[in-house]
Chains A and B, each alone.
Chain A
Amino acid sequence: MAIDTDKIVHAVMHGSRIREEKGIIPLFGVYLSMISVQYYNGISFGFEKATGNDGFAENLLVEAGQECGYATFQGVRSSWEWEEVVKPMIEDIEDQIHCFVSIAIAFGWGDLTVQELVPGKKLVIRATDLYEAKGYLDVYGKADSGKCYMVRGVTGALMDLVYGDDYPEGCFQYTAVETSCVAKGDPYCEFIAQRTTS
């Protein structure tokens, strides 16, 4: 069975309209929030500017994205919503990656597509419209390096979850790089995750 992204998006849109009495959105095993992308970009790029663009903030933001992606999608695949909506579509282990990407699209992170997946070895994700790249361009103009730190970290996390050691031991066993970025003037953002080399 092919992965039905529309069905996953519909489940997220429906579920994210439900709040419990404390004003919290519990969905797919995590607590969700709806926050302006201006906030996230303000934090990320403000952090980078404050530390002098020397790669310090970049590394920490990618790490935060990867650790988040690892915990988030573990929560997602352990949830009853996954069991009910997503799991029936999954035929092999690689399908998990496609489902995770569908959920990322549903969360409004961008138009992510899996460009290439070599089981256990390599994942290539592309997108033409990510809020990090767009936000950077809008505020600071053309960048000289990739700016999509969250999605870059998440790309590594997806491989960690599917091909790394059992949760929670597998985080950071894969590392992603952003090989092209819309913020640099490239036609798309591209992320390649491969086994971390020491």
Chain B
Amino acid sequence: MTIDWPEKFARKGHELFLSGLPIALHCHHYNMNLQKTLETSLGSEGVLLLYTAAEESSHAGFTSFLEHHPKIVTAKSKLELASTSYQYCGLGIINFTKIGPEGGIVTSPHSHHVTGWLAKFGKRQNVGCFFTGGWVAGVLAAIYNKHIGYFSVDELECKMSLSKECVFEVKIA
């Protein structure tokens, strides 16, 4: 089943919706500033906050999306849908080819957060795609009909620290 993403992106007056869920357009300046503010002031607690906020919002969003598209039933189709939604939202490219209900590996050769961070702050010494990690955890929990927190996602390699691509390891928490 093919999703017509532009058709799902709608404006009602001053509000924006993607498949019925309220969204906002923000640029890399804001997204990276928020991340840096939380990391700098709260350290690991700030990182967890970024991850958790992404996990909760992607779980809610993708669960709702799947409820509105009952014809999308196989895990493979849902994973493909997740990948295209990530791309449509301007978040980048994400590959779920090595993932299953027990976890696995997710890779991302390009992302909004990597491009934005490198443009704004330059190379990092450590991994930094906390949004994407949380987003993956939430989406996978929705796809496999699990609760928030079921999967844990660790970033093993990150383009923000100049690795070839971002690599995320997904495990059952």
Contacts and interface: CB of A to CB of B under 8 A. Distances in A.
Interface stretch (A58-66, A117-125, A172-180, A182-190): A58-66
A31 B111 CA distance: 10
A35 B27 contact: no
Contacts of A7: none
Nearest to A31: B28
Given A24-B92, A39-B53, A108-B16, A31 B60 contact: no
Contacts of B60: 36, 38
A108 B14 contact: yes
A31 B27 contact: yes
A39 B49 CA distance: 10
Nearest to A109: B24
Main secondary structure of the interface of B (DSSP, over half): helix
Size category of the A interface is: 35 or more
B110 A24 contact: yes
Contact of A37 (B22, B30, B46, B119): B22
Given A33-B27, A38-B57, A43-B34, 17 more contacts: A16-B25, A25-B90, A34-B24, A34-B89, A35-B91, A36-B21, A36-B60, A40-B24, A40-B53, A42-B52, A51-B41, A61-B37, A64-B30, A64-B33, A64-B34, A71-B29, A72-B30
Interface of A: 9, 12-13, 16-17, 19, 22-25, 30-40, 42-43, 46-47, 50-51, 56-57, 60-61, 63-65, 67-68, 71-72, 75, 105-112, 129, 131, 150
Interface of B: 6, 9, 11, 13-16, 18, 21-31, 33-34, 37-38, 41-42, 45-46, 49-50, 52-54, 56-58, 60-61, 86-93, 109-112, 115-116, 119, 131
